[in-house]
Amino acid sequence: MCYALMQHFPPHLATNAGSGGLNNVSSGSSDIDSKNFRVKLVLLGDSGVGKSCIVLRFVRGQFDPTSKVTVGASFLSQTLALEDSTTLKFEIWDTAGQERYAALAPLYYRGAGAAIVVYDITSPESFNKAQYWVKELQKHGGPDMIMALVGNKADLHENRIVSSQEAQEYAEKNSMFFIETSAKTADNINQLFEEIAKRLPRPTSS
């Protein structure tokens, strides 16, 4: 996992932790007004697949190869200006991938408007774990949650084991969209979040 400038929240603070306007980890999308809205987004996946690197590349445009493991979850936010003149604030929870933290994941994905399930294209074990998280989200996530399946480390294509066709077919069967990314080269990182933004329902004027 990649780590830099991220905040770590112990599990017992999960319901109150946050920054950048997030008041409750259980809150989902929220209408600020018809032109500005926010959504809670969670990243899930095995340890070491690059979830933190993806977030850091998206939010700060940085890649840090330092390998430090996320403890509990990390929070960052980023705002996108969309083509329809609305602004979307992503409130991003990057969850720990280690097995001992798996039971805590529902604290972070409950109420989320979007979820990114990440695997490493060189690791079939991480793809199996991704499928586990998809099933968990289908059981316990919101019915309108936007889900993305992401094959990270696309720069290591010469070491690929999980084929893009296999992942694409799995994503289609589970009503997800699929994309391969490289946090190292920034390939498709912004496109991933832009695609999620396109699929999210827009707030309506009250």
**Percent of the chain whose pLDDT exceeds 90:** 59
- Nearest one of 118, 121, 115, 117 to 166, comparing CA atoms: 121
**Is 79 inside any structural domain?**
yes
Residue 2 lies in a domain: no
Amino acid 157: pLDDT: 95
Please enumerate in sequence order all residues whose Cβ is within 8 A of that of 187, keeping only pairs 6 or more positions apart, or say none: 154, 155, 180, 181
Q: How confident is the model at residue 86 (pLDDT cuts 50, 70, 90)?
A: confident
Structural domain includes residue 204: no
Confidence check: pLDDT of 3 > 90: no
Domain contains 205: no
Question: Could you list the residue range(s) of the whole structural domain that residue 59 is in?
Answer: 7-199
User: Rounded to whole angstroms, how far apart are CA atoms 164 and 77?
Assistant: 29
What mean pLDDT do residues 135-149 have? 94
pLDDT at position 35, please?
80
Residue 73 lies in a domain: yes
CA-to-CA distance for 54 and 76, rounded, in angstroms? 12
Q: Specify which of 4-18, 78-92, 146-160 reaches the highest per-range mean pLDDT.
A: 146-160
Q: What percent of the chain has pLDDT over 70?
A: 76
Say yes or no to pLDDT of 98 above 60. yes
State the Cα–Cα distance between residues 204 and 55, nearest whole angstrom. Answer: 28
What pLDDT does residue 7 have?
40
pLDDT tens-digit series, residues 103-112: 777 888 889 9
Tell whether 191 is covered by a domain.
yes
HSE-CB at 22 with a 13 A cutoff on CA atoms is: 30
Distance CA 38, CA 159 (A): 38
Average pLDDT over residues 122-135: 97
Is 127 a member of any domain?
yes
C-alpha triplet 127, 171, 87: angle, nearest 5°: 105
CATH number of the domain to which 169 belongs: 3.40.50.300
Distance CA 78, CA 91 (A): 7
| Count of domains observed in the chain | 1
Residue of 187 and 140 predicted with greater confidence: 187
Strand extents, DSSP E, 47-145? 73-81, 87-95, 114-120
**Cβ atoms < 10 Å from Cβ of 123:** 20
Number of H helices, E strands in the chain: 5, 8
Is the pLDDT confidence value at 126 over 90?
yes
Per the model's pLDDT, the better-predicted residue between 180 and 97 turns out to be 180
- Tell me, yes or no, whether 206 lies in a domain: no
